[in-house]
Amino acid sequence: MQAPVAAKKSIRTVALFDLDGTLTWSDTLLPFLGGYLKRHPRNLLRMWRLPILAFRLCLDQCRGDPQSRGHLKSELIRLVMGRAQRDAVNSYADNFVSKLQPSGAFRTAALQWVEAHRAAGHCLVLLSASPDLYVTRIGALLGFEFTLCTEIAWQGTTLDGRLLTANRRGDEKVRCLSQIRSRYPGSEIIAYGNSSSDLPHLSQVEHAFLVNGSASTNRLAEKIKIPTARWR
C-alpha cells in the first residue's frame, strides 16, 4: 500500500475508515457492554435471556433475515443498559473511550494511516456498525470530521436500546455512501474495511483496501480486485 498523497485542489478526497478490526484490534461493543455490567452487576440478573437471544439469532440467520444482527445488538444493549439514564451512560462512555488508546486497543499502523490522510488534507470519515453510545466519541478522539454509526433510541433521558437507524453493516453501508457523497459532493473516496460485510461498500468507492481480513475474505476481495493488506 502506498501512502496517501495530497488531494488535487479541484478534487476533495475522503478517507473512509471502518472501526472494529480495522482501526482496532478487535470488537468494541462487547467490551463496552462488559465494562458496564461490571459497574452495574445487578443487571446480570437480566442475562438469563441471553441463550434465548442466541437461539433466535441462529433461527433468523438460517431464514436469511438481514436484520438479525441488528436485532441481537439492540437486545443486548437493552439487556445490559436498558433504562439507564443519559448522564450515567455518557459518563461511562467517556471513561470507556478515554482508556482505549492507553490500553493499546488501536492498531499502530491504522493510526499512522489516519495521520497520513490527515497530513494529505483528506476529509476523515468514520463508518461503523457499532452504536453511537460511544462511537461518535471515538471519532472525536481520533479527530474524524464526520462519524456515521448505528444510532440507538432514547425515551427522553432514559436509554431505550432499540435501533433508531438500520444496523450500519453490509448493504446498509452502501446506503450510507450516498449520505457521505452528498456531504462531500464531487469527492473521491478511499475506503478501508476488514470483513466480508465491508466488501459491498468497498466495491462502490474509487479506491478501496481490505485490511486485516481473514484468508477467505482476502480471497473474496482479490476476486473483485480489491487490494489487501495487514496492519499491526
What is the three-class DSSP state of 231? Answer: coil
Structural domain span for residue 120: 13-229
Residue 30 in any domain: the answer is: yes
The model's confidence at residue 215, banded by pLDDT at 50, 70 and 90, is very high
Please report whether residue 5 resides in a domain: no
The answer to the question of residue 4 being in a domain is: no
Listed as own residue / partner, the contacts of 40-46 with beta carbons closer than 8 Å and 24 or more positions apart are: 40/84, 43/79, 43/80, 43/81, 46/79, 46/80, 46/82
Number of domains into which the chain is organized:
1
Position with higher pLDDT, 194 vs 12: 194
Question: In this structure, is residue 2 part of a structural domain?
Answer: no
pLDDT in tens, 105-127: 999 999 999 999 999 999 999 99
**pLDDT for position 6:** 53
Rounded distance between C-alpha atoms, residue 12 and residue 210, angstroms: 22
pLDDT value, residue 207 = 98
- The CATH number given to whatever domain includes residue 74 is 3.40.50.1000
Q: Summarize pLDDT for 40-54 with one digit per residue, the tens.
A: 999 998 888 777 777
> Residues with Cβ < 8 Å from 64, sequence gap 6 or more?
none
Question: Is the pTM here over 0.95, yes or no?
Answer: no
Inter-residue contact 167 to 140 (CB < 8 Å): no
Query: Strands 152-155 and 158-163, how do they pair?
Result: antiparallel
Report the range of poorest mean pLDDT among 2-11, 35-44, 106-115, 195-204.
Answer: 2-11
Quickly tell me which residue has 471502518 as its cell: 18
In a domain, 1, yes or no: no
The verdict on residue 7 lying in a domain is no
Q: Residue 29 domain-assigned?
A: yes
Within-domain flag for 6 = no
